[in-house]
Chain A
Amino acid sequence: MTRYAALLAALALPAPLLAQGVLIAPTVVFIDARTRTASLMIVNPNEQAAEIEVGTLFAYPVTDSTGQLVLRTVEAPDSTLPSAAAWVKPFPRRMSLAPHAQQTVRLLVTPPPSLADGEYWSRIVVTARGGQLPLSAGADTGGVRVGLSVEVRTIIPLLYRKGRQTGGIVVSALRAQRQGDSLVVRAHVERTGTAAALGTARGELIDSTGTSRAVFSAPVTAYYSVDPRFTFPLDSVPPGRYRLRLEISPGRQDLAADAIVPFSAVRDSVTVLLP
């Protein structure tokens, strides 16, 4: 078989891959200064051993120009940023997990002794690599082979709280615009408390009779400020003049209530003309 034919034969074979990845619990880590420790459970649910590495970095969510949440990572946070990344030590940091095995990773926080009260942030990075993948062999013994490994990285937040926290947000610049068969709502949300605001936005489109014609609900996260984008369908909403009401309140479906620093719900509204 010529070298070209061997390459052709090898590349024609499917890239072999056993499922790789891990399960992580919880998905948000809250640590109080009185305990300075928490646990993370990592499970390998697959039939292949996994090499796991746990690390930290400083990052927080912001919104881009379209209103999408993106993670802003700061490689070397200075003293003006509330970074806990350097204080969080995972034990163990590296491990090999057999198929269907799980491991508890202890997270220990050792902050500076003079740390001021407040909320400090980090992200936990769990990287899972599978074992050496078998390569697809060509039909000949020349051994032209190809393989594609997969690495999965999961990033979850860690919030370290010292002292009593206060919550609060302000909402401004509420506006809405029809785009196709949807109403796109934008607003500026700014945190005013000492803790990141973890809330839920609920929107309602009210017609001239006071009847609710469309609703939406979406999580809102403000570490500093965000300009989120909410969308809800207008399938059954005829053209006309409406009032859009927006409320952002503390609490989230995916977080325990006692983990959230409460804040007063805020409301705003704006007139919307649907052509």
Chain B
Amino acid sequence: MVMRAVVPLLLLLPASRGAAQTLQVTGIRGVAFGPMLPGTSAVVSRTDGSRSAQFDIKGTGSGRVVQLQFTLPAALSGPGGAVVPLSYASADAGFSALQSIASQTAFDPRSPYTATLATNGRGSVFLGCTAQPAAGQAPGNYTATLTLTVTYFP
């Protein structure tokens, strides 16, 4: 059964009871690559407020501990098997309990990271990466899927 327009009712449930606890994970934006030249790597920093990927976590209650784990695409896939390789450095991901891009704790997106959400149950995750188009990169549609897994530890 699918019901509409009941989100506000769910959010009004008391937060002090376990049965009313909620967890919301939202992908806000993907990585936006800026101008790049064929054959020249393009780097997006996790602290870039308009180009880094951002995920928001919103829970009820305080002191929640979650594990963050990315499934990272190795490349953007294009026409005829053409790819634009992507790479990730050890500090390319960041977590901010304040949900501020200016106040992040860096972590390696290639490994699981355990984070404690803020007392209001919130936090944000940011990701940057590097794209490496070849000198002879073919034109076409290039796509990839970025996955963030959030595991709640009770």
Which residues on A are within 8 Å of B, measured CB to CB?
A: 3-4, 6-8, 10-15, 17, 19-28, 41, 43, 45-46, 61, 68-71, 95, 97-98, 100-104, 123, 128, 130, 135, 138, 142-157, 198, 217-219, 221, 252-256, 259
Contacts and interface: CB of A to CB of B under 8 A. Distances in A.
Contacts of A157: 152-154
B21 to A, nearest CB: 4
Using C-beta atoms within 8 Å of the partner chain, give the interface range for chain B: 35 or more
B153 to A, nearest CB: 5
A153 B148 contact: yes
Interface string B3-38: 111110010010001111111111111111111111
Interface of B: 1-7, 10, 13, 17-38, 42, 50-51, 53, 55, 58-65, 67, 71, 76, 84, 112, 114, 131, 133, 137-154
A161 to B, nearest CB: 14
B149 A25 contact: no
Given A24-B23, A28-B18, A14 B50 contact: yes
A145 B22 contact: no
User: DSSP majority for the A interface?
Assistant: strand
B30 A149 contact: yes
A27 B117 CA distance: 14
User: Most chain-B CB neighbours within 10 Å: which of A27, A41, A45, A130?
Assistant: A27
A226 B29 CA distance: 36
